[in-house]
A and B are shown apart, each in its own frame.
Chain A
Amino acid sequence: MIVNKETISELAAQGKRLDGRPLTEYRQPIHIETNISWTAEGSAKVQIGDTVVMAGVKLSLEKPYNDSPDQGGIMINAELLPLSSSEYESGPPGIKAVELARVTDRGIREAKAIDMKKLCVTPGEKAWFVIIDIVTINDAGNLFDAASLAALTALKAARFPEVDPETGAINYKKKTDKSLPLLKEPLAVTIYKINNQLFVDPTTQEENSYDARLTVASDEKGIISALQKGGDAPLTNEEISKMVDIALDKAKLLRGKLDKNLG
């Protein structure tokens, strides 16, 4: 569906959207599936409306960083696969993929969601490193929220692989039932501003017509762990306050879906 930006803006002023949804409603279905990849230590597929993303967790044993010898590490990577949209090409990640990865990373890493010290095996020598890879399968808008939900689901579903006690080699084909030391479960919700109205879960069209956006990552207690503002237009303090309120509220909804699925 292709439309002029003006139409989306005009509708917004009336509190309306192209697909008839209320401004603060997510598309349906919201579908979460785990273990979609036997080769990943933890994996998830998340669908929000037509947007589908997958996340996979890989664990490896490495030498800890010099400045944190008693801790493991985490890295989040994102790829906008060409198969997910005619807008993407093969090649190194563009700025959109980089922002997606870093915003998702910020929400999880800065939340101190994983107890890094518990990832340590031998201080100064060996620790577990967690890498989460997010890939897009169909980009129909709102990758930020889908990616965050997929990453968190994959982390929760992840299990350590067996390690040979003598050689120290990892047997990736056998999983233990030990899960990752998660302290918190942060989820990102992005709020968009179009013509002074606040939206949730934009379609691709709406993403191409927005004035400003704010991604808010929060944990189960409502503590904010990451923020990212995007878009050309500025935001007032009042707007930010409203956006945060919506984000905290929606995070609860998404968390409920996640718990129901992993239940």
Chain B
Amino acid sequence: MSNVLVNERDIVIPGEALAEGMDYLPGDNTYREGEKIYSKVLGLVGLSGRVIKITPLSGPYVPKYGDKIIGKVIDIAMTGWRVSTGTAYSAMLNVKDATTRFVKREEDLSQILSIGDYLIVKITKVTSQNLIDLSMKEPGLRKISGGRVMKINSQKVPRVIGKQGSMISLVKEKTGCDVTVGQNGFVWVKGTPEGELLAEKAIKMIEAQSHQEGLTDKMQKFLEANQVKGEQ
């Protein structure tokens, strides 16, 4: 007899029992032991047919192939730059993946990208040991200048972006800012100081209340209320 022990969107803690019986399948962040399925993290229950998964409420970013992230140059090597990703694992951006122009052998790499520069890059490879390769050649990928970079929990990125980008478009529109959200939780915001501050507050709000219903409406009201004040 299979049985689900929790409800959709329940908050569970590590080790909490989610279901018993062999009819259910352990999804993300869960594990099976004997007849029962348990959670591995603090998070929200998601039921999808027979699969039970947990969406973590916090936790480190796991680098994935194809992810667009924001990283910082931390070192300059012979063939490129070492870039921090905000995780325990730094990444490598080779010269040939950074630019389409021909870079001479004697060129000083620090003239192209220096330590401390923030970059919008894409992950092109992740090994089992979390060795990461990056590329900056596609359109939209580049070195950042101006504005501010903020950090949110990477688990909240989907909520900040919203369905088909709806949430982040709302933020951009009401604050007049350019906003780029990296999958690793780093967010670049550029606009007027007031606009940037409002965008920052809004993004932090979304992060704090990501697991709640009706958030889009709440954010709409918040942004409109504050936008009016800004125009005075």
Contact B193 A2 (CB under 8 A): no
Task: Give the total of A residues in contact with B, Cβ under 8 Å.
Answer: 11
The answer to whether A1 has its CB under 8 Å from any CB of chain B is: yes
Quick one: closest B residue to A21, CB to CB?
B197
Q: From B118, B146, B193, B200, name the one whose CB has the most chain A CB atoms within 10 angstroms.
A: B193
Q: Is the CB of A2 within 8 A of B151?
A: yes
Q: With a CB–CB cut-off of 8 A, which chain A residues contact B146?
A: 4, 7
Query: 1/0 per position for B114-157, CB-CB distance to A under 8 A?
Result: 00101000000000000000000000000000111111000000
- Other-chain residue from B72, B118, B186, B197 in contact with A18 (beta carbon distance below 8 A): B197
Interface residues of B in 184-213 (CB under 8 A from A): 186, 193-194, 197, 200
Chain B proximity mask over A8-39: 1 for CB below 8 Å, otherwise 0: 00010010101110000000000000000000
The interface size of chain B toward A, counting residues with CB under 8 Å, comes to 14
Asked whether A3 lies within 8 Å of B148 as measured between CB atoms, the reply is yes
Contacts of B118 in A (CB 8 A): 2, 4
Q: How far is the CB of B201 from chain A (nearest CB, A)?
A: 9
Contact A7 B147 (CB under 8 A): yes
Point out the residue from B72, B116, B150, B193 that lies within 8 Å of A1, measured CB to CB: B150
Known: A14-B193, A16-B193. A1 touches B200 (CB 8 A): yes
CA distance A11 to B186 in the complex (A): 21
Of the candidates A1, A16, A20, which one forms a contact with B148 in the assembled complex, judged by CB atoms under 8 Å apart?
A: A1
B186 and chain A: residue at smallest CB distance = A2
Q: Are B194 and A2 in contact (CB under 8 A)?
A: no
Tell me the interface secondary structure of chain A in the complex. loop
Q: How far is the CA of A7 from the CA of B149 in the complex (A)?
A: 11
Residues of B9-30 at the interface with A, using a CB-CB cut-off of 8 Å, are none
A7: chain B residues within 8 A (beta carbon): 146-148
What is the chain A residue whose CB lies nearest that of B190? A7
The tally of CB-CB contacts under 8 A between chains A and B is: 29
Give chain B nearest CB distance to A117 CB in angstroms.
Answer: 53
Chain A residue, CB-CB nearest to B149: A2
**Residue of A with least CB distance to B147:** A7
Taking a contact as CB atoms under 8 Å apart, the answer to whether A2 and B147 are in contact is no
Within 8 A of B (CB), among A148-200: none
B interface footprint on A38-52 (CB within 8 Å = 1, 0 otherwise): 000000000000000
Cβ of A14: which chain B residues have Cβ within 8 Å of it?
Answer: 193
A19 to B204, CA, bound (A): 13
Closest residue of chain B to A6, judged by CB?
A: B146
Q: Is the CB of B149 within 8 A of A20?
A: no
Report B-chain residues with C-beta under 8 Å of the C-beta of A20: 193-194, 197
Complex alpha-carbon distance, A18 and B200, angstroms: 10
- Which residues of the other chain, B, contact A2 by a CB distance below 8 angstroms? 72, 118, 148-151, 186
Q: Do the beta carbons of A11 and B149 come within 8 Å of each other? A: no
Is the Cβ of B149 less than 8 Å from the Cβ of A1? Answer: yes
Chain A residues in 8 Å Cβ range of B194: 20
B5 vs chain A, min Cβ distance (A): 35
B116 contacts across to A, CB distance below 8 A: 4
Contact (Cβ within 8 A) A11 B150: no
A20 to B118, CA, bound (A): 23
B158-185 vs A, Cβ < 8 Å mask (1 yes, 0 no) = 0000000000000000000000000000
> Nearest B residue to A1 by beta-carbon distance?
B150
**Is the beta-carbon distance between B149 and A3 smaller than 8 angstroms?**
yes
Q: Which A residues are in CB contact (< 8 Å) with B186?
A: 2
Chain B residues with CB under 8 Å of A4's CB are 116, 118, 146
Considering the complex, give the chain A residue whose CB is closest to the CB of B193.
A16
**A17-B168 Cα distance, complex, nearest whole Å:** 24
Distance to closest chain B CB from A176 (angstroms): 45
Given the complex of chains A and B, what is the CA–CA distance between A1 and B148 in angstroms? 8
Q: How far is the CA of A14 from the CA of B192 in the complex (A)?
A: 12
Q: How far is the CA of A11 from the CA of B195 in the complex (A)?
A: 13
* Cβ distance A113 to chain B, nearest Cβ, rounded Å: 40
With both beta carbons as reference points, the residue of chain A lying nearest to B145 in the complex is identified as: A4
Give the 9 A-B residue pairs with the shortest CB-CB distance, closest first. Answer: A3-B148, A1-B150, A20-B197, A2-B149, A16-B193, A11-B193, A7-B148, A3-B149, A1-B148
- Complex A-B: 29 CB contacts under 8 Å: A1-B148, A1-B149, A1-B150, A1-B151, A1-B200, A2-B72, A2-B118, A2-B148, A2-B149, A2-B150, A2-B151, A2-B186, A3-B148, A3-B149, A4-B116, A4-B118, A4-B146, A7-B146, A7-B147, A7-B148, A11-B193, A14-B193, A16-B193, A18-B148, A18-B197, A19-B197, A20-B193, A20-B194, A20-B197
New A-B contacts (9) at CB < 8 Å, excluding given A1-B148, A7-B147, A20-B197: A1-B150, A1-B151, A2-B72, A2-B118, A2-B151, A4-B146, A11-B193, A16-B193, A18-B197
